[in-house]
Structure 1
């Protein structure tokens, strides 16, 4: 099988037929890349029910990266059963060990196929992704409960960089059929340089998949850092709020909010599906951005909202809605759900 895999891989990268190096370590690296290419292609063609492999340290090294490219839920096993004897031939000892591994794998594959069939028959409205941060929790709790009552399954992701990426990964794999991105603080950390950033591809998979999308600019009043002494020198003179012993938050500036608006508007203007950008009228974008709270700054928040309204290109499918509520008011949470229901 390896000659076919190597030929397929060489054609995909536009090279002449690849010959395995004599060096074993380098050969394992080439084989791993070829297998990863094959698995991705087979998965895209819909012919992979699972993947199983066995071996010692070399086999584990070869298999681990290709297997990680499989979507969440696709069974994949690297056999770590003690082989007792060498497995160069099948005998009455190795047969028992390998049969156990094969039976476990077969059970996982059958179980997954049955779950997929059950899912097709359930007739649920779908699964939605929601982003949350500590300072937006009251809003998200109301949204979550309301959506459940409406018949949706919800997955809540903590907007800590990896949380947003995890949500987008599940969107890409088809596990999520709609998104309410209520907490966009990862954009602030990406633009300014905090410790919980998104990356330049933020929102791209939502645009690509054309799923219903409601966006709200929550928690863009802050950039996240670690312990207070780790906050960069150029931020030390800012308004710093100690969220807990491990997390320090710094208030974002007027100029930074202009940049946030530009980044978000550029993405939203590429949306081709029905979408809603929902915001408020200077009532605050987090629990800290309210009258009497440490990050209350109407000028910075106003700049963000005004720039977004100016830059977002409104059309029949792309709407901007303004509400006279604070982010954590129940009325705003219900307005988000109403907006989502209207575009589904």
Structure 2
């Protein structure tokens, strides 16, 4: 495929990393792509003019280079440049000026890159070449749902054979992504669903083909932090015709202080966007945490289920389940369209079935009691005398879905 119609936005501090940024651009052009350069320097200047100067970047932030320099604080200055680079990138993307972005930097450049990438829609290739890629310095909430990071090894100062290996891979990756990407389209109305693997939650195996037969496309998001972030990002854009948010565990993770979080806005964006939603209790009773670390302090001493070497889960107490129910209800209270909470009375994951390793009838009863008490008036609470993995749950979902289609609540597939 001819890549000359793919333009990559190359962003960095050209006063200190001119050679490295030029090398990135050289590799992209050498592969048939085009480049648009953005300088986010503060004190110095590039060796040759960029397509978008540092002055233009500062002005896009509603500021100026004079103000950035006068503050005499590098963090203050780079926050101005971060705001400006973000605003500029959004404006350029809206007019089709580039197809993918790559940002190069150390901690300063990475801080800026995270803001810029988070502001671009899902599906725009976003690459960050960073000396702190994958570092615990970078909190999950700063990461765009589809961001890609490559370690800038041996590249703190000047070009060499080691850092050229990183830079050339990054240049090829972003151009290749820009050529190959198929951005989320609107050929068929899209259903957003949350879940986990079929070992623990099985409803998607029956629901996905049934919804596709009705003319819809179904995207299932793995609710382990980043999957929830992608789900919420698309919901905020109004990308879904309907939401089946059946795995709310990320809400509990955030509430209980786990690092595996989809953010404070989890389970709110579909409601704010006016998207009809069904919500349920898949793994509501578990709090995930990083398996090779200690559980969050509030959860220590509770029963732990080790899923694998990366991920473990703590079983919630009754009071924690009450708090979970109240948190869900508070989030759903802001919804602006039809919202139904489907409450399977026999459990919310395969492990908590009667006879299962995490079965806790009393804990489930506490949650059910609190949901009945706290459910806001804009949410319909529908109890189902079944387990979430039973056919009866799937049948109830499809019955409600079809009723919404008939009533015009859900966009009818063409």
Q: TM-score, normalised by structure 1?
A: 0.73
State the partner residue of 1:322: 383
Q: Distance in 1 between the 2:283 and 2:105 partners?
A: 45
Displacement of 1:215 after TM fit?
0.3
State the partner residue of 2:364: 301
- The reply to whether residue 6 of structure 1 matches residue 58 of structure 2 is yes
Q: Distance in 2 between the 1:231 and 1:54 partners?
A: 36
Contact kept? 1:133, 1:159, Cα under 8 Å:
yes
Query: More displaced, 255-264 or 235-244?
Result: 235-244
3-state SS in 2 of match to 1:210: coil
Equivalent residue in structure 1 for 2:249, among 179, 185, 191 = 185
Name structure 2 gaps, 5 residues minimum.
1-51, 129-170, 405-409
Query: More displaced, 153-162 or 188-197?
Result: 188-197
Change (3 A) 1:201 1:66: closer
Displacement of 1:199 after TM fit?
2.9
3-state SS in 1 of match to 2:327: helix
Contact kept? 2:206, 2:394, Cα under 8 Å:
yes
* Equivalent residue runs for 1:221-300 within 5 Å: 221-227=285-291, 230-231=294-295, 235=299, 237-281=301-345, 283-300=346-363
Displacement of 1:8 after TM fit?
4.4
Equivalent residue in structure 1 for 2:122, among 72, 85, 94 = 72
- The reply to whether residue 176 of structure 1 matches residue 240 of structure 2 is yes
State the partner residue of 2:231: 167
- The reply to whether residue 313 of structure 1 matches residue 376 of structure 2 is yes
Equivalent residue in structure 1 for 2:95, among 22, 37, 47 = 47
Name structure 1 gaps, 5 residues minimum.
79-100
State the partner residue of 2:35: none
State the partner residue of 1:36: 86
Query: Which whole-Å deviations, capped at 9, do the CAs of 1:211-247 have from their partners, x for residues lacking one?
Result: 1211001111222234487346775643333333443
Contact kept? 2:102, 2:126, Cα under 8 Å:
no
- The reply to whether residue 21 of structure 1 matches residue 69 of structure 2 is yes
Contact kept? 2:326, 2:371, Cα under 8 Å:
yes
Change (3 A) 1:9 1:324: same
Q: Distance in 1 between the 2:232 and 2:185 partners?
A: 21
Contact kept? 1:129, 1:176, Cα under 8 Å:
yes
Change (3 A) 1:157 1:5: same
State the partner residue of 1:83: none
Which structure shows the higher helix fraction?
Answer: 1
Equivalent residue in structure 1 for 2:258, among 187, 191, 194 = 194
Q: Report how many residues are paired.
A: 303
Q: Distance in 1 between the 2:103 and 2:193 partners?
A: 41
State the partner residue of 2:281: 217
Change (3 A) 1:292 1:173: same
Query: Which whole-Å deviations, capped at 9, do the CAs of 1:171-213 have from their partners, x for residues lacking one?
Result: 2234433211111111222222334233322222112211121
* Equivalent residue runs for 1:81-92 within 5 Å: none
Displacement of 1:161 after TM fit?
1.5
State the partner residue of 1:339: 400
Query: More displaced, 190-199 or 69-78?
Result: 69-78
Query: Which whole-Å deviations, capped at 9, do the CAs of 1:74-126 have from their partners, x for residues lacking one?
Result: 46799xxxxxxxxxxxxxxxxxxxxxx9xx98x969x98xx78x956x4x2x1
Q: Distance in 1 between the 2:109 and 2:307 partners?
A: 41
Contact kept? 1:217, 1:285, Cα under 8 Å:
yes
3-state SS in 2 of match to 1:148: helix
Displacement of 1:277 after TM fit?
0.8
Query: Which whole-Å deviations, capped at 9, do the CAs of 1:250-306 have from their partners, x for residues lacking one?
Result: 22111001100110111111112011111122x011111111112211111111122
